[in-house]
Amino acid sequence: FISPAKTEPADDLAPWGDGVSSDATFESRKAALRSDPLNATYINWTYFNNNFAEWTFPLSQYRDMGLQIMVMCSASESLLPITSSTDYAGRWELWQHFYASAFHYARNFDVTRYQMFNEPDHPNAGGITQAEWLLRLQLASDAIQSAISDVNSRYGKSLQPNVHAPVTSTPTYSPWGNLAVDNRHLNYRGAASNSFWNMRSYAYHQYNATASGYFQTSSGMQTSIAADMTGETPFPLCLTEFNVHNAFTFDSMPDTLDYPEKYARFGAIVCELAKSGLDEMYCFKFSQTDDTSYTYGVKKNGMHYVDNDNAPNSHGGVTKAGEAYRLFAKGIAPGRVMKDYTRASDGSIDALDLRASYDAVSRKYFLYSVNESANSIPISVDTSAWNIPTNNRVLLEEVSESRHGSVRTLGSVTADKTLFDGTVNLWQQPANTVWLWTIPSKAQQAEETVLVAEDTMVKDGSNAGINYGSATSLIVRNDPTNNANRSAAFFKFNLPPIYLPDIQIATLCLRTRANPSGTAQGYVYGLDNNTWSENTLTWTNAPNLKKGKAAGNKIANRVIDGEGTTARILGQLVATSSTPSEKIIDVTDYLRSQPNRVPSFLITQDPRWDVSLPSLAVGDTQTSALEITASEGSTDPYLRIVRLKDTDGDGISDEAETGTFSTNPNDADSDNDGLSDGNEVLVLLPNPNLNTAPTI
């Protein structure tokens, strides 16, 4: 949402209308601007660029991550008015604003997706008529398409503009949908041409419905669009705002996106939306921004908690609905082969929302399952149609009260091709939970265990210079009143010489308890820095921990440093009992990215929010610490690693030996020089087919 009230709060060039007073002068100035778009005579770029600067950092970050950006640029009638059918000055100012905006965003951030008016059917839309809205769509769309075309020609890009409309607040097709679709080829001068499009995607918003209600709306919309576009490819359907509830409805209840019924409902919604054939969906919204007019002071439909009071408005924790969305994005990613499951007529999976996908690159299957009911549901998963080798390991992650997106178990495939959890083939999915199975289809090597090489904790405040390398228990704690009691834990492993792309599943396993009894939570990070030593590490010299941070229970008191850059968030640990039990985090992608094969982990208990909901208590005060069993006197912590089949046991899979290194998968020393292929490729790095044994 980039409001014109911020990017052009006052006219960039005087006088209003820039001399445009007729259709002819409009077209003349438009042509002149397009022939020389950086000319300050037509656009006051200094003024615009100063106002655009607020969004430079986030847009550049999104661009660098390869994300597709949607810009909602809702130009109200009060800011950019068109007072009559002959108000060409007003038309020009609207057109020029959208041209300048799209030119800037396309040139600098490759933005192609735009919306020009948010919810014109909403009671707060200022009473805009359908005719007024259509003219504004026609002008804005023409400006956006012109700007992107000019950016392409000037800067050698090939961006394709995609204007989304009508962006209605209600999930009904008539009357705004009819209006937009029926006039899709009619430009702002009243000329119709099948080569001109006011929009390329159909967008709407929806909240407060059941999962099946979202499915029915999407399906109905697609039917209506197709009926009005006979002979043409129907517009892709985009749900550009959705959630369990909107902010207003959430504010009327104590419930949050951390309530079991709500995060399970969210998981069911995204599953049903994906089944419906929807092209794009945008969860609204990312952050729980503040609103003093609300009972709870924030908009509870935000997925993440944010510091609304202190720049740079850092984020704290994520809701469990956010974790459900993460698992969905991980398992049901675009570009994969999808399989939808119809609820059985015998009612056996009537309470489940299910969707499966197949990633042809990794050759992994994923099964997303949501139990939105108040009862556990028995599930037997038959993979016989997927040709999974017997004994292959599978990973099950869960969002629940005791697991915030972490691993529930590592299972396996039995001889009859059903999934086995280590005890039974009939799994029980608990009430109000979200599950994601990851099921690799390539043949695997037997699971390997790697014990921790070094582990320790560090303490802050007056203890910041003390080393705790010999501790048998590692405490992860945030004390909101005394930073000397704040502590974090570090773990480091030395992987054997294995080819990292062969890793199919990797998990970090920690024996953990809440101390004292209660619920304790912490975040697990994978670090770039692995040079620390357990015998010398202190808070003072520890990587990725802020120094001198005051004690407190708010987001501003968080101590993690380099989050998202040198510290990659991997998941959450949650302990709900004082009795130690194993907690498991999926670290597959992180291990595959460690070229020196020395992964390093950090666990902190940073504050997640500034206000507890729904109690409105200040801050996030966890009364229990995470206590993790250290390696001193135990076999914890450890990694469990599942690799591709490696017949000769040289650390390189059969697939990589034949397809990448041209070595013999049945001979660990293909060139008979006394060095294994794995040692040559992964440690010494010469040609594994060339006898390079060192002379002694």
What confidence tens digit (pLDDT) does each residue in 596-610 have?
999 999 999 999 999
Three-state SS at 449:
strand
Cis peptide leading into 688, omega within 30 of 0? no
pLDDT band at 254 (very low <50, low <70, confident <90, very high): very high
Asked whether residue 363 carries a pLDDT value surpassing 70, the answer given is: yes
Where do the structural domains in the chain lie, given as residue ranges? 4-169, 337-440, 448-643, 648-696
Give me the architecture of the 337-440 domain, per CATH: Sandwich (2.60)
Give the model's pLDDT for residue 410: 94
DSSP 29: H
Q: What SS3 string covers 452-514?
A: CCEEEEEECHHHCCCCCCCCCEEEEECCCCCHHHCEEEEEECCCCCCCHHHEEEEEEEEEEEE
Q: Which residues face 379 on adjacent strands?
A: 427
Give me the architecture of the 448-643 domain, per CATH: Sandwich (2.60)
Mean pLDDT of 10-18: 95
Which residue do the tokens 């890793």 mark?
Answer: 503
CB-based contact 279:237 (threshold 8 Å): yes
Give the model's pLDDT for residue 110: 97
DSSP 551: P
Residue 617 burial by Cβ neighbours in a 10 Å radius (0-12, 13-18, 19+): exposed
Asked whether residue 345 carries a pLDDT value surpassing 70, the answer given is: no
Asked whether residue 695 carries a pLDDT value surpassing 50, the answer given is: no
Q: Rounded to whole angstroms, what are the CA distances from 63 to 107, 123, 280, 428, 660?
A: 12, 35, 18, 42, 32
C-alpha 368/C-alpha 322 separation (Å) is 15
pLDDT band at 694 (very low <50, low <70, confident <90, very high): very low
pTM summary value = 0.94
C-alpha gyration radius of the chain: 29
Does the fold of domain 448-643 match that of domain 337-440? no
pLDDT band at 340 (very low <50, low <70, confident <90, very high): confident
Cα 355 vs. chain centroid, distance in angstroms? 19
Residue 462 burial by Cβ neighbours in a 10 Å radius (0-12, 13-18, 19+): exposed
Mean pLDDT of 559-579: 96
HSE (side-chain half, CA atoms, 13 Å) at 407: 23
Size of the chain in residues: 696
Which tokens is 96 given? 């020029």
C-alpha 521/C-alpha 606 separation (Å) is 9
Buried-exposed string 125-142: b where 16+ CB fall within 10 A, e elsewhere:
beeeebebbbbbbbbbbb
Give the model's pLDDT for residue 689: 63
C-alpha 335/C-alpha 280 separation (Å) is 13
Give the model's pLDDT for residue 527: 98
Asked whether residue 344 carries a pLDDT value surpassing 60, the answer given is: no
C-alpha 474/C-alpha 512 separation (Å) is 9
Mean pLDDT of 567-594: 97
Neighbours of 19 (CB within 10 A): 12
